């Protein structure tokens, strides 16, 4: 049997709006289209460093209980934009951000699972999976 192709995670059209800063638009083989802001992508950067960072923040947020997390990181964080983006083979895109971070490689598989729309949230990020 050939490997089944998940059409939900196969892009048919990819547009990266680097110069306008509008983000990334992807159309998928199942007809769905996704839009990602660069800020959103930066926050969801899949590299080990950022993954670690998110886990630490989540742990911090969970440990203190009540109160807003403003005491933890009061410093100003400029909105991330993309300096450039390049395809990696036919499975991912790499984004070079204006804050100097460029180790994030976003596989299409990953991108579909972080699609910010409600139906993908239900489909890919519900607790039942
Ligand atoms: Zn990262
Ligand atoms: Zn979606």
Model-level pTM? 0.82
Instruction: Tabulate helix, strand, coil % of the chain (nearest 5).
Output: 35, 25, 40
Distance CA 79, CA 101 (A): 13
CATH of residue 23's domain is 3.30.2020.30
Domain count of the fold of the chain:
1
Q: Residue 53 Cα, ligand 1 centroid: separation in angstroms?
A: 9
Question: Of the ligands numbered here, which is closest to the C-alpha atom of 33?
Answer: 2
Match 């800020």 to its residue by tokens.
39
Any domain includes 121: no
Residue 129 pLDDT: 46
Mean pLDDT for each consecutive 10-residue tract of the chain (129 residues)?
84 96 97 97 95 92 59 64 94 96 96 97 80
Residue 76, domain extent: 7-116
| Backbone torsions φ then ψ of 6, nearest 5 degrees | -80, 100
Nearest ligand for residue 113 CA: 2
């Amino acid at each position: 049997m050939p490997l089944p192709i998940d059409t939900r995670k196969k892009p048919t059209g990819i547009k990266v709006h680097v110069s306008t800063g509008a983000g990334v638009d992807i159309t998928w083989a199942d007809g769905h289209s996704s839009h990602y802001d660069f800020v959103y992508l930066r926050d969801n950067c899949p590299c080990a460093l950022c993954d670690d960072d998110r886990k630490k923040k989540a742990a911090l947020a969970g440990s203190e209980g009540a109160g807003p997390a403003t005491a933890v990181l009061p410093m100003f964080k400029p909105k991330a934009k993309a300096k450039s983006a390049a395809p990696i083979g036919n499975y991912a895109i790499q984004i070079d951000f204006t804050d100097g971070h460029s180790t994030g490689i976003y596989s299409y598989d990953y991108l579909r699972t972080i699609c910010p729309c409600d139906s993908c949230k239900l489909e890919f990020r519900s607790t039942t999976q």
